[in-house]
Structure 1
Amino acid sequence: METNINIRKRLAFVFFLLAMGLTAVIFRLAWLQLVKGNELQQKALENRLNPMPVTAQRGVIYDRNRHELAISIATDYIGAFPPEIKESGRAEEIAAKLSAILGIPTDKILEKITRNTGFEFIERQVEFDKAQKIKDLKLPGIEVVPESRRYYPNGMLAAHVLGFAGIDNQGLEGLEAMYDKELSGEDGKIVLEFDALGHEIPRATHRYIPPQNGHSLVLTIDQTIQYIAERELDKIMASPTKPRKANIVVMDPKTGEILAMASRPAFDPNNYGKYPNSVWGNPLVRDAYEPGSAFKIITAAAALEEGVVSPTDRFYDPGYIKVGPDTINCWLPGGHGSESFVEGVKNSCNPVFVQVALRLEEKKAGLFYDYIKAFGFGAPTGIDITGEGTGLLIPFNELKPINIATIGIGQGIAVTPIQLITAVAAVANGGQLVRPHLVKEILDNKGNVVKKYEPEVIRRVISPATAKRLSEMLEAVVSEGTGRNAYIPGYRVGGKTGTAQKAGPGGYMEGKYVASFIGFAPVNDPRLVALVTIDEPQGYPYYGGTVAAPIFQRVVSDALHYLKVPPQYDSGKKEGEVSPAPVTVPNVIGKDLAAARVELEKAGLAVRVEGGSGEVIAQVPKGGAVVPAGTHVILYLKGDPAKPLVPDVAGLRVNDAAAVLEAYGLILVPDGSGQAAGQDPPAGTAVPPGTKVRVRFIEPSLETMGP
């Protein structure tokens, strides 16, 4: 009896153990099926399926006229399936054959194709002939798959604008990076099915998920104007000037569209890895520099708008100006003497602009800075490209009178080229700050416009009347002043030169300058505004008017003709009206001032008077000269023959200065060549007849320098 009881206990215990085991199995099966089922199913699928990526074709980048600047071309990549290669037992043979074709070390390929992974890239963007040889070998576990790679058909053209894309078709610089999401599209894939041993299953269903190709960009850049700009940069880089860097940007001042943006040194985006990464970024949006006299445009705009100066206000320049304990020199030794504000702009006179900047601050603390910031300095412009800088402004709470004075002449402030051209475009277009941009439209795969970028006015900075008045002053800079080398026959051109000594760790660096010219044309209906900056030109002269202005002249002249902009001189010219013929200057020597003025104004010429009173004894230009309508004719009056006053010959050429002094009974002693830039005795001095007047002549491009 006891034995039966023991047997039943044992059976019950065994049954309990079996029940517990079965319960555990059921719970485990439930866990695997219900909780982990989806995850395990996915892992099983991944073990069976190996995807091969199929890259999307990157969108095209066009210029504004739909010329291709960046495209994608067909190529192949070589992929490997290590499980299949291991199963074949031919790994070393496969590595050797691939090495012979691709030029990659055998051991490197062998290491890749024997990894414990489902798929490996062997080589990307393989040339067609090499890919075909590998196809013909029909190696187990090796696939040749089509892909695309980025190609820039024009080489270096607009390289700093376009940037470049990497081996995986990802944008790395420039517009390629800025618009990477729009350009790149979505990759597809080919899915292959394998058994547990890594063999491709015959006749298995291969899934192909097609890629979605990227959108295309239509830029504001005009390929022809870009070629013109880069042509000029290549010339100066190869010239004896041999600058460290050179840049040009051309903009439509009314829309903010960038028509050309070029820099040297540059790089070929097809082989960007062969160039130092220091040249990849776009210096026209990234690098800041002291603009020098070019910034006087902003000083003048603010002063005219606030009414702290008028065109006829008189100034006296003795060659320097004191600001507290500091002295700021004029570029012209001995100074310009008495001059109007218009003449101060034309002469790029430092003491005039220092006084004007300080007048703004006297009217209201911080007023000058308000205008500087309103014109966009100290902040990014928002141009649609990577790497934009902000420039450099002295913090407002650290400003001293000497800082206001130096900023007024373009020193002690650092700006980017895109900031400066955007600000000057506001003067050219009638006073509105317009955001610069490089992309005009985005297109889908079928060429339909999916997004269009319209001009964006940020704010009004000066009134149309101020803009018009200042534009006419800047025209005089080109027609009569330091910017003569930028003059384009048949067109009204306004602009400003700049020559700034470069700042370094210990102050300004001796012999290192940035020469620049910024201008626009035609003055009465601007189509183009352009900035040329030449960094560290070698040799002499190194001034903006000598080095940069001629480049501006050639680029803008060719661009205006390319755009079929008709020549015109008269700001009041109506559409379809014929440009006025050049004027022959009447000879008014010997006539009294009133009669001379009537005759000159009747001929369509303006009058400027020098000297005391009496009849006209000299004039510049001389009678018989053929000049554009509106040209100023300088009249020199007789005064007292016994004690003549030395006339002001500033700006005159040697022969004209000699004729004027001779008319007063004085003798010219010339020093140098070019235009008169200083005289001794100074203008207005009473001297005996026969006195020798020493006049210093320089090239008309000489202007503001660092102190």
Structure 2
Amino acid sequence: MANHKEQIIGRAKHVSYLVFALAFCIVGRLIYVQYFDTYQGRSWASWQEKDFPTITIPAMRGNIYAVDGSLMATSLPSYEVGLDPTVAKEDYFRSKADSLGLLLSRIYGDRSPRDYTELVRDARRKKRQYVLLSNRYVTFAERQEMLKWPFFRSSGKVSARGGVLRAHYERYHPFGTMAERTIGNLDPETHRGQRGLEASFQTALAGRDAVGEAEKLSGGVYKPVVDGPDMKPEPGMDLHTTIDVNYQDMAESALRTTLEKYQAAKGCVVVMEVNTGEIRAMANLSRVDGKNGPRYIETFNHALAGGTDPGSTFKLATMMAMLERKVVSLNQSVATGDGIAKWGTRTIRDAHRVGFGTITARQVFEKSSNVGVHLLMRNYFYRHPDDFCRLLRQFHLDKKTGIHMLGEAQPLLPNPQMKGWSGQSAPSLALGYEMRQTPLQMLTLYNAIANDGYWVRPMLVRQVKLADEVKVDNKPYVSSERICSLSTVRQVQSLLRGVVENGTAKKIASPYYAIAGKTGTAQKIINGKYQVGKYSVSFIGYFPANKPKYSMVAMVDSPQGDNIDLLYAGAVAAPVFKEVADRIMAYDVQIQKPVRAKNQVDGPALMAGYADDLHTIDSVLGVKQRVGIEGWVEASKKGHWVERSTRADQVPDVRGLSLRDALFLLENRGLRVAIQGRGKVTEQSVEPGTVIKQTPGRQISLTLKEPVLASKADSTTTATKRHST
């Protein structure tokens, strides 16, 4: 028993010796690491004693793209130029200082070479480790040139001798001020998005900056103390928007022209795809008075945040409500009389001073008769205002659109339960007053009608991507149910077309496509009172009306002129809509009706071209008989393809060629080409075969004409002959 106890005590002693030994080793190791071990040539104790500054390495901000991939906002580097004059050896510094001063003077132009040379010499005498050479940042191209300079030049064997180029990223908009308020901008101090998409998607665009301690090296350069994952910034993500730069340019151009013509205060245009809600253009311009006169720039997003009385464009909602409750028939008669009606203490007037007399309910809408709308509303909704307001909410007029962008104004839609409601509130609502709606919110109502009653949320950003990886994929939001019955939709669709065909917007009717929409002329409140002659005018609609693809709102605020009758929406806002719609219809070939050419019999056209192109055509069409020669060819009178001479020193025969092929041949020979007409080349001013050196001024004029089509019978014969070889 005693022996067993002694064995246990002996083993415990051995374990304790081992524990003491291990502890001694650990303490020794700690002392060694603390005072003798080194990291990057210095003891750990000195690292701990040193107070390192915290630096931030900014992440590359994401780009913003248009719908076609065009770059609308990006971050470009510019560079601060400095020098640590203590780095270079004395001989090098003495021999290169003058050259550096000369180069700096050339690129900046603000000081003499001697001044720059003295600047760096003085800094070296004072042993300054960093001197800023200019307050102006240089571009990337200038930086590349500077890297060849003395003090900045480096190679695999020799590093730069004190030259410092610090990168700073600046936001750049390749299209200038286009869609400026929609795209947004950055705070110059914090570099965070201030407004627009830059602010709305700040987190996604900004990425993650790297923040950590750094040691200051010679030359004013900072090196991270610990170069780990936390010191590597994560780049921001890219926004792929729905904006079409061509449509945006059309909208801004048409809007600016009208604002300047009427010296208006502000305006906006929004173009949206009916089925998807994708916004193709959002233009916002405000008048800014300066020394050189007024100019129009984007200072506020009126479409998104500019809530106001919509005026007569709201009559669409009023008519929809009456049709939903079946309290009106479009063919019923309405006695508007001389255009003046009383409701309590209020006088309701038509813009048409002599009145419309007795007209149909359809004409009430087409002519935008205030008295007519009042009389129709009086029959039911003045006694049931709750029901009227309930339907307006059903039309999505009491809530924001939910567009993914900060700053949308909350609509104001009064109801009988709200403070301030009176017996005059329902008549005001019916005519588009005593409320607040933004142009974008009103546009969604008209877009729903164009979309057969289905409400669509407006969309500005399709995708958010990190490189090629899609992080957010926004799909169109379309309501599962119609905002009103299909019967109501069809009736108001016909009303909106009638406004353009027979009503207040007759001047914008087009013989080529149908427009549907409504004018709105709202009196503005000044000093608490509605003022005659002070208007906010708008036109909202869609096109082509028979198969709507685009909806649009055009708004102009406070147009000026001597004749009040020429300041209404039909004269001011509707033409803006028409100009943009015309240009879109000409641009978007997918909505064009195919035009059938009329049969003409004027003889066969001269045929010529490049053999490779003809081989491709034959292959696609499955023609068995191919062109058997190469190079430039022409069709002979017998229908065979023969070679056409194209000597490099002579003017070629380009008759029968397309303009593209003709320009290729002529411009590659150094000839300047003047063009008249369109189609294929039928005449050339210089005879084929003329020596190019003898061509006066090396100029040649081409006459082009559209190809002449033969009749069906002749076409068949010609086609047969064309491939008879």
Name the TM-score class by shorter chain: 0.5 to 0.7
How far residue 503 of structure 1 moved from its aligned partner, in angstroms, is 0.8
One-letter code aligned to 1:283 = H
1:312 paired residue number:
331
Query: What aligned pairs does 1:625-644 form with structure 2 within 5 A after superposition?
Result: none
Q: CA deviation at 1:386?
A: 2.2
Check 1:376–1:201 CA distance in 2 against 1; reply closer, same or farther (3 A cut).
closer
In the alignment, structure 1 residue 387 sits paired with structure 2 residue 440: no
CA apart distance, 1:225: 0.8
Q: Hey, what does 1:402 align to over in structure 2?
A: 424
Match for 1:487 among 481, 484, 509?
509
After superposition, residues 35-74 of structure 1 pair within 5 angstroms as 44-45=47-48, 47=50, 49=52, 52-74=55-77
Q: C-alpha root-mean-square deviation of aligned residues, in Å?
A: 4.6
Q: Deviations over 1:569-592 (max 9, x none)?
A: xxxxxxx999xxxxxxxxxxxxxx
5+ residue gaps, structure 1: 1-25, 34-40, 85-92, 268-274, 569-575, 579-707
Q: 8 Å contact 2:287–2:295 — kept in the other structure?
A: no
Superposed, 1:22-421 pairs within 5 Å as 44-45=47-48, 47=50, 49=52, 52-77=55-80, 126-128=138-140, 143-167=164-188, 169-188=191-210, 193=215, 209-239=231-261, 241-265=262-286, 279-318=298-337, 319-362=339-382, 364-394=384-414, 396-421=418-443
1:164 and 1:172 in contact (8 A); partners too: yes
Mapped pair 1:551 → 2:589: no
C-alpha distance in 2, partners of 1:306/1:203? 72
Cα separation, 1, equivalents of 2:50 and 2:162: 16
> What does residue 452 of structure 1 align with?
473
> Displacement of 1:42 after TM fit?
11
Identity across aligned pairs (percent)? Answer: 28
Change (3 A) 1:565 1:203: closer
C-alpha spacing 1:166/1:136, structure 2 compared with 1 (3 Å): farther
Specify the SS of the correspondent of 1:256: coil
Q: In structure 2, give the amino acid aligned to 1:325.
A: T
Distance 2:360 2:438 in 1: 31
Q: After superposition, where does 1:502-651 map in structure 2 within 5 Å?
A: 502-539=524-561, 540=563, 541-566=566-591
Paired residue total: 513
Q: Compared with structure 1, are the counterparts of its residues 205 and 553 closer, same or farther at alpha carbon in structure 2 (3 Å cutoff)? A: closer
CA distance in 2, matches of 1:457, 1:121: 58
**TM-score, with structure 2 as normaliser:** 0.62
SS at match of 1:172: coil
Please give the alpha-carbon distance, in whole angstroms, between the structure 2 residues aligned to 1:453 and 1:345.
Answer: 37
Secondary structure of the residue aligned to 2:270 is: strand
Kindly provide the CA deviation profile for residues 309-355 of structure 1, in whole angstroms up to 9, marking residues without a partner as x.
12122211112222223221122234222221111111111122113
Once the two structures are TM-superposed, the CA of residue 146 in structure 1 deviates from its matched residue by 2.4
Amino acid at match of 1:327: T
| Pairwise CA distance, 1:519 | 1.2
Change (3 A) 1:58 1:391: same
> Could you tell me whether the CA contact under 8 Å between 1:317 and 1:337 is conserved in 2?
yes
Are the equivalent residues in 1 in contact too, given 2:214–2:223 (CA < 8 A)?
A: no
Would the aligned equivalents of 1:56 and 1:214 in 2 still touch at CA under 8 Å?
Answer: yes
* In structure 2, C-alpha distance between the alignment counterparts of 1:321 and 1:166, rounded to whole Å: 54
Question: 1:296 is aligned with what amino acid?
Answer: K
C-alpha separation in 1, matches of 2:342 and 2:138 = 69
Cα deviation 1:185-235 (Å, max 9, x = unaligned): 12347975469x999999999779443221111111111111111111222
- Map 1:648-687 to 2 at 5 A: none
Q: 1:202 to 1:260 in 2, by over 3 A?
A: closer
Rounded Cα–Cα distance in structure 1 between residues aligned with 2:82 and 2:223: 19
Aligned mates of 2:249, 2:583 — CA distance in 1? 11
Secondary structure of residue in 2 paired with 1:466: helix
Offset from partner CA, 1:97-149 (integer Å, 9 cap, x none)? 9x997989x9xxx9xxx9xxx99999796545886769966799984322422
Q: 1:194 to 1:289 in 2, by over 3 A?
A: closer
Instruction: Provide closer, same or farther for how the CA distance between residues 557 and 63 of structure 1 changes in structure 2, counting only shifts above 3 A.
Output: same
Distance 1:567 1:67 in 2: 25
Give the aligned partner of residue 8 of structure 1. none
User: 1:472 Cα deviation (Å)?
Assistant: 0.7
Question: What SS does the corresponding residue of 1:361 show, helix, strand or coil?
Answer: coil
Provide structure 2 residue ranges, at least 5 long, that are not aligned to the other structure: 1-26, 35-43, 88-96, 117-121, 153-159, 289-293, 597-725
